[in-house]
Amino acid sequence: MSLSFFQLPFFCSIEKIDFENSYVVIKNYKFIDNIPSEQEYIRVTPEENHKISLFFDERKIHADVRIIDIGIGGAKVALSLIPPGFKEGDKVIVDMVFTSGAKPLIINTKAKVVKLTEEKREFVVVLLLNNDANIKKLLTAYIANRQMALIREFKNLSL
């Protein structure tokens, strides 16, 4: 039997999973409304074999780039280096390929650099994706499928 203590969906970070004692420790949780207009805030970690390329000033950024998480309206990416002059407010082109389904999902769109942070070994960039209905539709489907895959993966951990 499944029992839910929360009446609303919530966003959180999982700190610890203890299968032996049957508990999960969460932190930084925030309740979210379960309405379509609020679902743009739902973010997922993509599968390991995703690919992403960024183009700045009509040139490909030649660096190790990976998606940290992605939502309907934006993405957080990590770059091993950034080109000279790259800053918040810059426009980029984002080319992403997700291979979780039967055929690859390819998303190519414009984006704006909203936040740029230098970490110890990489740069973390938050991108606001172009407000395009087709891109939102593709990302909504991808995120829903990825959520289901993560749920299945989480359930398999307990077996």
Q: Are residues 123 and 96 in the same domain?
A: yes
Better-predicted residue by pLDDT, 112 or 31: 112
Q: Are residues 17 and 59 in the same domain?
A: no
Number of folded domains that form the chain: 2
pTM: 0.70
Q: Are residues 31 and 51 in the same domain?
A: no
Q: Cα–Cα distance between 127 and 120 in angstroms, integer?
A: 20
- Lowest average pLDDT, out of 1-10, 123-132, 149-158, goes to 1-10
In this prediction, residues 48-69 reach a mean pLDDT of 92
Q: Cα–Cα distance between 72 and 126 in angstroms, integer?
A: 13
Q: Cα–Cα distance between 99 and 49 in angstroms, integer?
A: 7
Q: Are residues 89 and 108 in the same domain?
A: yes
| 94: containing domain | 43-135
Mean pLDDT (the chain) is 82
Q: Are residues 96 and 23 in the same domain?
A: no
pLDDT tens readout for residues 71-85: 888 999 999 999 999
- Lowest average pLDDT, out of 24-33, 64-73, 90-99, goes to 24-33
Q: Cα–Cα distance between 4 and 94 in angstroms, integer?
A: 39
What's the CATH number where 68 sits?
2.40.10.220
The closest alpha carbon to 145, from 95, 96, 101, belongs to: 101
Q: Does 88 reside within a domain?
A: yes
Contact 126, 115 (CB under 8 A): yes
Q: Are residues 16 and 59 in the same domain?
A: no
Q: Does 148 reside within a domain?
A: no
